[in-house]
Amino acid sequence: MIPDHYLFDTFHGKRIHLGVTGSIAAYKALDLTRAFLRLHIQVGATLTDAARKFVTDLSFGALGADPLFTDMFAEGMNYDHLEPAVADAFVVAPATANIVAKMANGLADDLLSCQLLAYPGPVLVAPAMNPRMWQAPATQHNWKTLGERGVGRIEPDCGNVACGDTGQGRLAPVDEIFIRTLAALSPQDLRGKKVMLTLGPTREYFDRVRFWSNPSTGIMGACLAIAAALRGAEVTAITGPVELALPAMIRRIPVVSAREMFEAAADVFPSQDIGCFTAAVADFRPPACDIGKFKKGGAPLALTFEPNPDILATLSGSKRQDQQTIGFAAEAQNLEANASSKLARKNLDLIVANPVDEPGAGFASKTNRVLVMDRHGRQESWPQLPKTEIAWRIWDWILMNTP
Ligand code: C5P
């Protein structure tokens, strides 16, 4: 299942072509097809003869894949056999050792290999095979050749494979193939930029098993991290404790407390172009204590909380001229005035403010309603939008203001 924060509306109407070859993992190409169609990306597919021993073209057609190709000389085939050339990306998943070898050597002895040879756009290949076939010098040589030609290579995973062997050879997870395809469909307008994000809540423990925190899910930060990575940025996400999938193309530094997040961010930020601070950092922490568990006993428990460092204010306050910072603000009242004063006080380039306690906005919601304000005095109120869409627009805004 593809997580919602991987679903960017900006890809609606794109078209991909899927090549499916003869591996037991061929059934996963159906999940991939569904994921693209869910995003209103059109999917065409070509199945080799061997693929059709595992899955049928009927299954792909029933999901909505169109056009569908199988045999080059099939009766009633009324498509131009090289028609996939108009697709925005060509994805081969799963790819056998055989198709990898054919691609590396320019063979064109069936419909899929002909289509791949003639295809002018971005190609991605996700192999699946027995680990010994994968490790074979011939396969490794072919794989290297594909890399040298600019083919997007999605390495197989390690683990148990269907034939009982263990090693590298399992098809990469469907969500990885999905996100790598979206990257191939994205403008590479953040290429060369390094982006650091903080996201999620922090936890401040007051005994060894209890903590003070907030319900942040980190979705907004994840959407921003993924959008930046899709557009070519090198992304580091410093994540508080969240159950949140992030693609392998994002470097993840997990932390727990505000002070750990601060240390990680202070370490990473000097090498970055942009810092984006979406984390819902606990402003206070209980006193350090090594008690296993506070026992109840009728008496009140009094703890004196210490202020935590303001990560954004500290790092943005001493940023270089060539660095940009983006801050977030959840406000209960006076959205505009509070956002404007935070923009100035924390020395930000951009602030994204949202009202708290509004349905469809804020913590744990898939959507948000935000006011965006930059240091040049530009300001816009956006209607309620998916967080993925807000993330995409924030990068558009940053790019418009980056020389
Ligand atoms: O001052 P306030 O908490 O409303 O500011 C919110 C912004 O500051 C967010 O971007 C948040 O990630 C960041 N922040 C921080 N460290 C803190 C508190 C907030 O980085 N201790």
pLDDT band at 250; cut points 50, 70, 90: very high
Residue 278 Cα to ligand 1 midpoint, Å, equals 8
d(C-alpha 176, C-alpha 197), whole Å: 21
Percent of the chain with pLDDT over 90: 84
Tell me if 114 sits within 8 A of 79, measured CB to CB: no
Query: pTM for the whole thing?
Result: 0.95
The helix/strand count (H/E) of the chain reads as 12, 22
Residue 380, phi then psi, degrees to nearest 5: -145, 145
Q: 3-state DSSP: the chain helix, strand, coil percent, rounded to 5?
A: 35, 25, 40
- Beta carbon of 311 within 6 Å of any ligand 1 atom: yes
Tell me if 335 sits within 8 A of 352, measured CB to CB: no
**What mean pLDDT do residues 332-344 have?**
94
**What mean pLDDT do residues 247-251 have?**
97
- Beta carbon of 277 within 6 Å of any ligand 1 atom: yes
**Cis preceding linkage at 94, omega within 30:** yes
- Residue 83 is predicted with a pLDDT of 86
Q: Which CATH number fits the domain that encloses residue 279?
A: 3.40.50.10300
- Beta carbon of 31 within 6 Å of any ligand 1 atom: no
Tell me if 250 sits within 8 A of 280, measured CB to CB: no
Nearest ligand 1 atom to alpha carbon 258: 21
pLDDT band at 357; cut points 50, 70, 90: confident
Q: Whose CA is nearest to atom 13 of ligand 1?
A: 312
Do residues 220 and 277 both lie within one domain? yes
136-140, 224-228, 301-305, 355-359: range with lowest mean pLDDT:
355-359
Residue 125 Cα to ligand 1 midpoint, Å, equals 41
- Beta carbon of 281 within 6 Å of any ligand 1 atom: yes
Using most ligand atoms within 8 A of CB, pick from 311, 342, 350, 352 the residue to mutate for ligand 1. 311
Residue 30 structural domain: 4-185
Out of 161, 185, 209, a domain closes at 185
Do residues 221 and 293 both lie within one domain? yes
Beta carbons within 10 angstroms of residue 313's beta carbon: 17
d(C-alpha 149, C-alpha 276), whole Å: 35
Element (H, E) at 386: strand 385-386
Do residues 15 and 96 both lie within one domain? yes
Strands, E assignment, 122-267: 123-127, 152-153, 157-160, 166-170, 194-199, 204-205, 211-212, 234-239, 250-254
d(C-alpha 298, C-alpha 310), whole Å: 35
Q: Which CATH number fits the domain that encloses residue 96?
A: 3.40.50.1950
First vs last C-alpha separation in the chain:
39
Nearest ligand 1 atom to alpha carbon 327: 10
Alpha helices in 39-135 (DSSP H): 57-63, 97-105, 111-118, 131-135
Out of 185, 219, 237, a domain closes at 185
Nearest ligand 1 atom to alpha carbon 346: 8
Q: For residue 148, give both structure tokens.
A: 């040298």
Residue 346 Cα to ligand 1 midpoint, Å, equals 9
Do residues 179 and 237 both lie within one domain? no
Using most ligand atoms within 8 A of CB, pick from 257, 269, 283, 312 the residue to mutate for ligand 1. 312
Bridge partner residues of 306 (DSSP): 285
Residue 306, phi then psi, degrees to nearest 5: -100, 150
Which residues have a catalytic role annotated? Answer: 163
pLDDT of 76 over the 80 cut: no
Residue 82 Cα to ligand 1 midpoint, Å, equals 53
d(C-alpha 132, C-alpha 142), whole Å: 15
52-70 pLDDT per residue, tens = 999 999 999 999 999 999 9
Do residues 176 and 211 both lie within one domain? no
Do residues 169 and 229 both lie within one domain? no
167-201 pLDDT per residue, tens = 999 999 999 999 999 999 999 999 999 999 999 99
Cβ neighbourhood burial of 43 (10 Å; 0-12, 13-18, 19+): buried
Q: Whose CA is nearest to atom 8 of ligand 1?
A: 312
Q: Whose CA is nearest to atom 9 of ligand 1?
A: 328
- Beta carbon of 312 within 6 Å of any ligand 1 atom: yes
d(C-alpha 382, C-alpha 392), whole Å: 13
What residue type is 205 in one-letter code? Y
Do residues 155 and 200 both lie within one domain? no
- Beta carbon of 202 within 6 Å of any ligand 1 atom: no
pLDDT band at 205; cut points 50, 70, 90: very high
Out of 133, 162, 185, a domain closes at 185
Do residues 181 and 278 both lie within one domain? no
Beta carbons within 10 angstroms of residue 178's beta carbon: 23
> In angstroms, what CA-CA distances link 320 with 261, 274, 323?
21, 11, 5
Nearest ligand 1 atom to alpha carbon 338: 4
Into how many domains does the chain fold?
Answer: 2
Do residues 130 and 236 both lie within one domain? no
Do residues 157 and 288 both lie within one domain? no
- Beta carbon of 201 within 6 Å of any ligand 1 atom: no
CB contact set of 311 (below 8 Å; sequence gap of 6+)? 198, 258, 261, 262, 265, 266, 277, 279, 281
Task: Name the CA radius of gyration of the chain, rounded.
Answer: 25
Q: For residue 343, give both structure tokens.
A: 């923009």
Element (H, E) at 330: strand 324-331
- Residue 365 is predicted with a pLDDT of 77
d(C-alpha 335, C-alpha 329), whole Å: 9
Residue 77 Cα to ligand 1 midpoint, Å, equals 60
Cβ neighbourhood burial of 283 (10 Å; 0-12, 13-18, 19+): middle
Using most ligand atoms within 8 A of CB, pick from 198, 277, 346, 347 the residue to mutate for ligand 1. 277
- Beta carbon of 308 within 6 Å of any ligand 1 atom: yes
Say which DSSP state 333 is in. Answer: S
Nearest ligand 1 atom to alpha carbon 283: 21
pLDDT of 403 over the 70 cut: no
Do residues 175 and 32 both lie within one domain? yes
Do residues 265 and 384 both lie within one domain? yes
What residue type is 147 in one-letter code? G
Q: Whose CA is nearest to atom 4 of ligand 1?
A: 329
Residue 281 Cα to ligand 1 midpoint, Å, equals 6
